Amino acid sequence: MTAAHIPAARNPLAALWWVPRGIIFGLMAFFIFGPLFNLLLWTVAEKWYFPHSLPLEYGFSSWAKVFAPRGGAMESLTNSLIVALLTVVVSLLLAIPAGYALARLKLPFRGVILLAFLIPQAFPNLTVYVNVARIFYEIRLNGTIPGVVLVHVSHGLVYAVWIATAAFSAIDAELEQAARNIGAGAFRAFLDVTLPLAAPGLMASAIFVFLESLDEFTGSYFVGAPDVNMLPLLLYTTAAGGNYQIASITALLLLVPSLVFMLIVERFLKADVLSRVGH
Amino acid sequence: MPKRLLGLLLVLPALAVIAFLFILPLIMSAVGAFQVEGAFGWGNFTKTFDLYTKDIIFTVVIVSLSTVLIGIASIAIGGYLTLGEHPVAVAILRWLYRWPMFIPFIVVGQILRTFLSKNGMMNNTFINLGLLSPLDAVSFLDWRGIVIAFVWKQTPFVALLVAGAMASINRDTIEAARNLGASRLRLLLEIVVPQVAMTLTVGLILSFVTMMSVLSVPLMINAQSPTMLTADIAFRVNSYGDYGVANALGLISLVLAASVAWIYLRASLKERA
């Protein structure tokens, strides 16, 4: 490694490498941040039309519209948050026992079971949602919040179960055994020893599921709309209606949690858990 | 034995959700594709091929092209992160490439729709820099917009997987080849890429399937004909309540995705043999 650096450092022409690097990184930055910057401009643009390359007037009137008590956006925001939180609760209630069993107990067909949770991600799922909507219509779950939550759970379960399994298998089984040896029951030992140790991993899986639910469009589109309005649906309808300000603010509301998570994911998902995902 | 039973009981509720909310509807869609007014037949498929052959080809071309571009871009990014000699440049790239990864597809659709349009920020910037004359500005909101959106959103994911795999390969072979005077491009293509081929394929297949199922990007960027199968399915259901043709289209996209997965399985079996 170091041997390769020395001639490069001595070569005065090495600085010239920054020209192609600068051009490539600059282009990458333009294509990555350009669209994001454009979105930010739209959220505060009062007046912006062809042929002007920047908005003519800036202001926050669209923000006021979005957060007005009777604006449709508040309803969508509340629905999205309720659905995402319920999806996290249901997914974790299903994934904690499943992850524990997959990590600790000797299960027959363990590999097949783990793969089964991947199925919703591994097949084109649009027709599935179409048919889920038909089933839900029969049992009157269509257009209800529990219906949307169930669809999101089926989609997010792979993250919940796989990360929970990895989190439980990263914990030393002897700690739980020690608690059992001094007289704790199986459930007590799980609650007091294993669960707190697995908490960071479970937190990571909860965040994954939360984002997956917040951003989900297709399932909400078929099962939820038009009765249950969610942020992605609001984004779609306002953008289709040409209201770029409201659409951009909605997009920003969906964007910020995703970016924040990208920056903090490594804090919750430690390497010891990460290396066990899918095993 | 009771421990096994307990284990199965603990997994069962989660499995039941997958069975009832995914596998059952999947079977319903496969069966429904062959049902025409209560009887079994090929009617939905003849109608589908009459109306949508162009869109099927369009979808395959767009998704395949995007997959190839994502593959090239992630090899380039992963390769530079692994073989790049200047630590500052590597750090800049590592910081830069990941941003689009967690951005939802619907948001990607919205921001690229404003960015790539005829009077969007991309054309405006090029015009202001003197690289493009206003008369030559064209909208990219057609098949190109969909490809750009897919590559934009999926490359970081595949690049992350590929870079991770590249970081864990044995550096001795790389150093040996470097000492023998191999150029960095040769190092990348002949030594590094073959060793991460499996990870790259898995990432690309997952991306392929994801792109086959995304509805929001085609709806936001290009919903006119020709468009992607996902937009057609939504249109069949919402405008005509025509579940037969929608299911047939769904089955076709399923077969397309499955054939890609089959190529992967065959390759991985050959590798093990």
ipTM: 0.83
pLDDT value at A170 more than 80: yes
CB pairs under 8 A between A and B: 244
Of the spans A22-36, A235-249, B117-131, which averages the highest pLDDT? A22-36
Burial of B243 (C-beta count, 10 Å sphere; 0-12/13-18/19+): buried
Establish if A115 touches chain B: CB-CB under 8 angstroms.
Answer: no
Instruction: Give the Cα separation of B247 and B26 in Å (integer).
Output: 10
In B180-242, where does DSSP find H-type helix?
184-186, 193-195, 197-213, 216-221, 229-235
**Which residue, of A59, A92, A108, is where some domain finishes?**
A59
CB A35 within 8 A of CB B111: yes
What are A169's two structure tokens? 């298998």
Percent of chain B with pLDDT over 90: 26
Does A163 share its domain with A252? yes
Per-residue pLDDT averaged across A84-113, rounded? 90
Percent of chain B with pLDDT over 70: 97
In chain A, where does DSSP find H-type helix?
2-10, 18-43, 61-66, 72-104, 110-116, 119-122, 126-138, 145-169, 173-181, 186-189, 195-215, 218-219, 231-240, 244-268, 271-274
Classify residue B8: in a domain, yes or no: no
Establish if A85 touches chain B: CB-CB under 8 angstroms.
Answer: no
Instruction: Give the Cα separation of A148 and B142 in Å (integer).
Output: 31
Contacts of A150 (CB under 8 A, 6+ apart): A90, A141, B17, B21
Does A12 share its domain with A133? no
pLDDT at A85: 94
Contacts of B65 (CB under 8 A, 6+ apart): B147
* Residues of A in Cβ contact (< 8 Å) with B4: 105-108
Task: Indicate yes or no: CB of B124 within 8 angstroms of CB of A95.
Answer: no
CB-nearest partner of A251 from B7, B21, B111: B111
Q: Which residues pair with B116 in a beta bridge?
A: none
Residues B224, B227, B228, B234, Cα dihedral to 10°:
30
CA nearest neighbour of B256 among B44, B105, B74, B61:
B61
Burial of B268 (C-beta count, 10 Å sphere; 0-12/13-18/19+): middle
Instruction: Give the Cα separation of B169 and B186 in Å (integer).
Output: 16
Residue by residue, DSSP assigns B130-144 as TSS-GGG----TTHH
Per-residue pLDDT averaged across A101-127, rounded? 82
pLDDT value at A136 more than 60: yes
Of all residues in chain A, the one with the smallest CA distance to B176 is A1
CA nearest neighbour of B209 among A119, A113, A154, A221:
A119
Does A8 share its domain with A144? no
Residue from B10, B187, B222 whose CB has the most chain A CBs within 10 Å, to mutate:
B10
Does A90 share its domain with A192? yes
* Residues of B in Cβ contact (< 8 Å) with A120: 18, 22
Taking the CB of residue A122, how many other CB atoms lie within 10 A of it?
17
Task: Indicate yes or no: CB of B119 within 8 angstroms of CB of A50.
Answer: yes
**Which residue, of A59, A81, A96, is where some domain finishes?**
A59
pLDDT 10s digits, A50-85:
677 778 778 778 788 777 776 677 888 889 999 999
Per-residue pLDDT averaged across A164-183, rounded? 85
Taking the CB of residue B135, how many other CB atoms lie within 10 A of it?
7
The per-residue pLDDT of chain A, averaged, comes to: 83
* Residues of A in Cβ contact (< 8 Å) with B233: 126-127, 130
pLDDT value at B71 more than 90: yes
Residue type, A224: G
Classify residue A64: in a domain, yes or no: no
**Element spanning A46, H or E:** strand A45-47
CA nearest neighbour of A192 among A207, A176, A206:
A176
Classify residue B158: in a domain, yes or no: yes
CB-nearest partner of A35 from B112, B210, B215: B112
Domain CATH number, residue B190: 1.10.3720.10
Task: Indicate yes or no: CB of A157 within 8 angstroms of CB of B18.
Answer: yes
Does A144 share its domain with A267? yes
Does A179 share its domain with A122? yes
Instruction: Give the Cα separation of B213 and A117 in Å (integer).
Output: 17
Task: Indicate yes or no: CB of A222 within 8 angstroms of CB of B237.
Answer: yes
Does A173 share its domain with A221? yes
Establish if B92 touches chain A: CB-CB under 8 angstroms.
Answer: yes
What's the CA angle centered on B202, arms B201 and B205, to 5 degrees? 85
Classify residue A6: in a domain, yes or no: yes
Classify residue B88: in a domain, yes or no: yes
Does A47 share its domain with A175? no
Number of H helices, E strands in chain B: 14, 2
Classify residue B190: in a domain, yes or no: yes
pLDDT 10s digits, A193-240:
888 888 888 888 888 899 889 888 888 888 887 788 888 998 888 888
- Interstrand relation of B35-36 and A57-58 (parallel, antiparallel or unpaired): unpaired
**Element spanning B3, H or E:** helix B2-18
What are B26's two structure tokens? 């999947």
pLDDT 10s digits, B82-98:
888 888 999 999 889 98
pLDDT value at B265 more than 60: yes
Q: Could you say which DSSP state residue B49 is in?
A: H
204-243 of B, contacting A, C-beta below 8 A: 206, 209-210, 212-216, 219-220, 230, 233-234, 237, 243
Residue from A23, A126, A134, A234 whose CB has the most chain B CBs within 10 Å, to mutate:
A126
Our CA-based measurement puts residue B29 at a distance from the nearest CA of chain A, in whole angstroms, of 6
Contacts of B27 (CB under 8 A, 6+ apart): none
Q: State CA B87 to chain mean position distance.
A: 31
pLDDT value at A5 more than 60: no
pLDDT value at A139 more than 50: yes
Does A103 share its domain with A216? yes
Classify residue B13: in a domain, yes or no: no
pLDDT 10s digits, A17-32:
888 889 999 999 999 9
CB A279 within 8 A of CB A99: no
26-45 of A, contacting B, C-beta below 8 A: 28-39, 42
Of all residues in chain A, the one with the smallest CA distance to B17 is A154
pLDDT 10s digits, B44-53:
898 889 889 9
Enclosing domain of residue B186:
52-272
Our CA-based measurement puts residue B10 at a distance from the nearest CA of chain A, in whole angstroms, of 5
pLDDT value at A12 more than 80: no
Task: Indicate yes or no: CB of B86 within 8 angstroms of CB of A8.
Answer: yes
Does A162 share its domain with A52? no
Q: State CA B205 to chain mean position distance.
A: 7
Burial of A187 (C-beta count, 10 Å sphere; 0-12/13-18/19+): exposed
Number of domains in chain A: 2
pLDDT at A278: 63
Does A135 share its domain with A9? no
CB B50 within 8 A of CB B232: no
Classify residue A32: in a domain, yes or no: yes
Our CA-based measurement puts residue A259 at a distance from the nearest CA of chain B, in whole angstroms, of 7
pLDDT at A6: 46
Enclosing domain of residue A15:
2-59
**Which residue, of A40, A59, A78, is where some domain finishes?**
A59
Establish if B72 touches chain A: CB-CB under 8 angstroms.
Answer: no
pLDDT value at A8 more than 60: no
Residue type, B256: L
Does A41 share its domain with A154? no
Classify residue B41: in a domain, yes or no: no
121-180 of A, contacting B, C-beta below 8 A: 121-132, 134-135, 150-151, 153-154, 157, 161
Per-residue pLDDT averaged across B7-12, rounded? 88
Our CA-based measurement puts residue B125 at a distance from the nearest CA of chain A, in whole angstroms, of 8
pLDDT value at A4 more than 50: no
Classify residue A279: in a domain, yes or no: no
* Residues of B in Cβ contact (< 8 Å) with A113: 11, 15
The packing angle between helices A145-169 and B2-18, to 10°, is 140
Of all residues in chain B, the one with the smallest CA distance to A6 is B85
Per-residue pLDDT averaged across A119-133, rounded? 84
| Alpha-carbon distances of A117 from A74, A97, A129, B208, B260, rounded to whole Å | 33, 14, 16, 19, 20
Task: Indicate yes or no: CB of B112 within 8 angstroms of CB of A131.
Answer: no
What are A52's two structure tokens? 């002007």
Domain CATH number, residue A159: 1.10.3720.10
Classify residue A143: in a domain, yes or no: yes
pLDDT value at A11 more than 80: no
Task: Indicate yes or no: CB of B216 within 8 angstroms of CB of A135.
Answer: no
Establish if A8 touches chain B: CB-CB under 8 angstroms.
Answer: yes
Number of domains in chain B: 1
CB A259 within 8 A of CB B102: yes
* Residues of B in Cβ contact (< 8 Å) with A259: 99, 102-103
